[in-house]
């Protein structure tokens, strides 16, 4: 009986992990608001996979968008300029954007926007991870398979021993 419970527990854990891979939390991903001339707006995020980003800039003004790694983010914060950074991705003069930004490797990154005009720009940014997250999905499927195998083997063993 304990073996069946253990197999069921493994399957429930696996299903929970698969659910997390398919429906990740979307809190804290995005932002927006006013962007002053000569200033930067952005956020620091932990990315484990590629992300889908949608940006809308109001009043047909344009912005530039950059994906910076941790070191470049620190450089931007210290110097207040992108001059000594090497962004992984840079999009210039965009009024709107909807697409996938490829993250080079899991880690801490910042998504930074700056205004290309001499007036305040208002923008909205929405981000979410690409589904399913395979780095989470695979372990979940392993737990499900292990649990199902344990249950099936236990049932077969019980039938075999009852028949003798």
Provide the residue ranges of all domains of the chain, joining segments of one domain with +: 2-21+138-163, 25-130
Detail the DSSP E strand segments found in the chain. Answer: 30-35, 40-47, 51-57, 63-69, 89-94, 96-101, 107-115, 121-129
Q: Does 136 or 2 have the greater pLDDT score?
A: 2
Band of residue 69 on the pLDDT scale cut at 50, 70, 90: very high
Q: What is the pLDDT of residue 25?
A: 57
Confidence check: pLDDT of 30 > 80: no
Residue 60, both tokens: 């047909």
Say if residues 130 and 52 touch (Cβ distance below 8 Å).
Answer: yes
Q: How far is CA 95 from CA 2, 56, 91, 112, in A?
A: 60, 7, 11, 15
Task: Give the C-alpha separation, 24 to 26, whole Å.
Answer: 6
Task: Give the C-alpha separation, 21 to 27, whole Å.
Answer: 15
**CATH tag for 25-130 (out of 3.20.20.140, 3.10.105.10, 2.60.120.380, 2.60.260.20):** 2.60.120.380
Confidence check: pLDDT of 26 > 60: no
Chain mean pLDDT for the chain? 85
């Amino acid at each position: 009986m304990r073996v069946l419970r253990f197999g069921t527990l493994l399957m429930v854990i696996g299903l929970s992990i698969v659910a997390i891979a398919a429906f990740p939390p979307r809190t804290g991903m995005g932002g927006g608001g006013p962007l002053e001339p000569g200033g930067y707006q952005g956020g620091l995020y932990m990315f484990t996979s590629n992300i889908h980003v949608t940006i809308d800039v109001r009043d047909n003004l344009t912005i530039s968008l950059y994906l910076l790694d941790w070191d470049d983010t620190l450089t931007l914060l210290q110097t207040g300029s992108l001059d000594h950074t090497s962004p992984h991705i840079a999009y210039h003069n965009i009024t709107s954007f909807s697409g996938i930004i490829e993250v080079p490797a899991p880690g801490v990154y910042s998504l930074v926007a700056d205004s290309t005009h001499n007036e305040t720009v208002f923008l909205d940014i929405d981000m979410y991870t690409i589904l399913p997250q395979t780095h989470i999905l695979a372990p979940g499927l392993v737990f499900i398979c292990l649990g199902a195998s344990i249950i099936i083997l236990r049932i077969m063993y019980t039938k075999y021993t009852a028949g003798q």
